[in-house]
A and B are shown apart, each in its own frame.
Chain A
Amino acid sequence: KAGVTQTPRYLIKTRGQQVTLSCSPISGHRSVSWYQQTPGQGLQFLFEYFSETQRNKGNFPGRFSGRQFSNSRSEMNVSTLELGDSALYLCASSLGRFQETQYFGPGTRLLVL
């Protein structure tokens, strides 16, 4: 079974621009979670989508948004990029039930200049 895929793998943007990242979950998984990983803060939860609905949201500004499509694929968008948004953005999928293990994709490395 194919794993979680994320595109693009690497991205360079400048301050003020916006970016859209994509995530395709494992087949049959209905929950997609997004995380930001930086050396200083570690892995921080952004949001979770289940059946096209945002089920949970982390403590990030409104510039960070996401959505999920009917095929469970998800996108996250960051508007008005800041230097501090440079990070590895990770997507994880699970079946969506409680006590479910999340499986991570390879991540998208975003560099904001």
Chain B
Amino acid sequence: EDQVTQSPEALRLQEGESSSLNCSYTVSGLRGLFWYRQDPGKGPEFLFTLYSAGEEKEKERLKATLTKKESFLHITAPKPEDSATYLCAVQGNSGNTPLVFGKGTRLSVIA
């Protein structure tokens, strides 16, 4: 059974204090790993898709990396507007498997 564990559950940063969020996964064969950002009361907003170990993607202050067992979302010099819940999901390559989501990391960036 595919599983995703995100850590920490919550993270509080000062503005400008860089950090990383972790997504550990277990999947028989990885088709894709997805990062989303979710603001309170809204639907998840797509950030990145990673397909193979060693792949990296960047967008503004965010950078996602992937190994065979985990993915990291690095946040460089965060701003208060980066405060949100960050969700990680994996999709296995066994047939039409659905996305399996972690429970997310709730990030608060304090000015």
Count of interface residues, chain B, beta-carbon cutoff 8 Å: 25
| Chain A hits for B101, CB < 8 A | 35, 42-44
| Chain B hits for A56, CB < 8 A | 96-98
B31→A104 contact, CB < 8 A: no
Q: Give Cα A83–Cα B102 distance, bound, in whole angstroms.
A: 24
In the assembled complex, B23 has its CB within 8 A of some CB on chain A: no
In the assembled complex, B71 has its CB within 8 A of some CB on chain A: no
In the assembled complex, B24 has its CB within 8 A of some CB on chain A: no
Q: Give Cα A106–Cα B81 distance, bound, in whole angstroms.
A: 19
In the assembled complex, B34 has its CB within 8 A of some CB on chain A: yes
Apart from the given pairs A33-B99, A48-B96, A106-B42, 13 other A-B contacts in the complex at a CB distance below 8 Å? A4-B43, A33-B98, A35-B101, A43-B44, A43-B101, A56-B97, A88-B41, A92-B43, A98-B31, A99-B91, A104-B44, A106-B43, A107-B41
Binding site for A on B (CB under 8 A): 31-32, 34, 36, 41-46, 49, 51, 87, 89, 91, 93, 96-104
